[in-house]
Amino acid sequence: MIDYTFRVIWENDDLLLVDKPPGCPCSLHVSNALEALDVAASASLGINLIRMNRLDVVTSGLVPLAKTAQGATRFWEEIRRDRLGKRYKALLTGPVPVGLLEHYMPGKIIHRRPAPRAISRRPLPGWKLCQTRVLSCQPVAFSELNLVAIHDGQDGGSGGEKDLPPSLYEVEAELVTGRTHQLRAVFAAEGSPIWQDSMYAPMTSFLLEDEKDPAIQALYPLCMEPRASTGIALQCARLTFWEQTVQAGAPWWRRKGKNREGGCPDVESDRQGLRESKEVK
């Protein structure tokens, strides 16, 4: 039911970029045959599109879709040659250090759990280097943001204004490596999970130094999927490819208008927020 006609941020003859809202799946599955991004955007825009990159269901921001086979081939070449630059914006529950953060993440599923992903500060056998460059981290008061005062499991399930921290921290970060759930896992391991990310909030400050450590088994039952409809405060804000840079509109927590419970804008406010962002650019 998403109207993608106003979500196209950039396009040429071979490629277009859409601003994906939280709740829209990128990966096609038998359970979302009509809702997956490439299917829904193709139907909405009246053209057959090929998804070239993915975001988590609960993440918003830029996703490239190829309009032609030539465009798909060219874009895959950017990915293969590691020339696709990704910059994200996020709201965190605490500060993280500015600069290059280095961690390690399992190269395979451990304990039969694909998520949450565990993080270590030292290399373990078969684990992969995980690099994140934090460009900025600034405290921001709730009064500066367009948020609904509710925790989506952030503190274990309670909600209401009395549970909110005095401020959040707005971060801009680049992915040096592109591991699954990298930013979500890294920020939680650093002690500052992403706002409303109930999957990783229980993993706050947890570092796995041994795959056999039973402590992680005790955390798994607390790690609940965030509500897809509200999403988490994470946006793919900028993509660099083909020697150019494309910037997304303002993240949902910075847009004006009425918000649904959980923080994301309703449809009309979302449309207006994107329109205003395009006009500013």
In this structure, what CATH number is given to the domain that contains residue 208?
3.30.2350.10
Asked, for residue 182, whether it belongs to a domain, the answer is: yes
Q: Are strands 85-92 and 167-175 parallel, antiparallel or unpaired?
A: antiparallel
Instruction: For residue 40, tell me if it sits in a domain.
Output: yes
Residue 273: inside a domain, yes or no? no
pTM: 0.87
Q: Which residues contact 18 (CB under 8 A, 6 or more apart)?
A: 4, 7, 8, 9, 37, 41, 62, 63, 65
| 262 domain-assigned | no
Candidates 33, 28, 30; CA nearest to 50 is: 28
Average pLDDT over residues 149-168: 49
Residue 267 lies in a domain: no
Residue 235 in this model has a pLDDT that exceeds 90: yes
Q: What is the largest CA-CA distance in the chain?
A: 54
Instruction: Pick the more confident residue, 190 or 141.
Output: 190
In a domain, 199, yes or no: yes
Check residue 212 and give its pLDDT: 83
Q: Is residue 260 part of a domain?
A: no
* Dist CA 90 CA 127 (whole Å): 26
The Cα–Cα gap between 245 and 238 comes to 7
CB-CB contact of 241 with 84 (8 Å): yes
What average pLDDT does this structure show over 13-25?
Answer: 92
Q: Above 70 in pLDDT, residue 265?
A: no
Question: Is a pLDDT exceeding 60 seen at residue 183?
Answer: yes
Residue 275 maps to a domain:
no
Residue 226's domain comprises 7-152+161-254
Res. 164: pLDDT tops 60: yes
The domain total for the chain is 1
Least confident of 55-64, 86-95, 168-177, 224-233: 224-233
DSSP string, 39-83: HHHHHHHTS--EE-S---TT-EEEEEEESSHHHHHHHHHHHHTT-
Nearest-5° angle of CA 77, CA 83, CA 86? 120
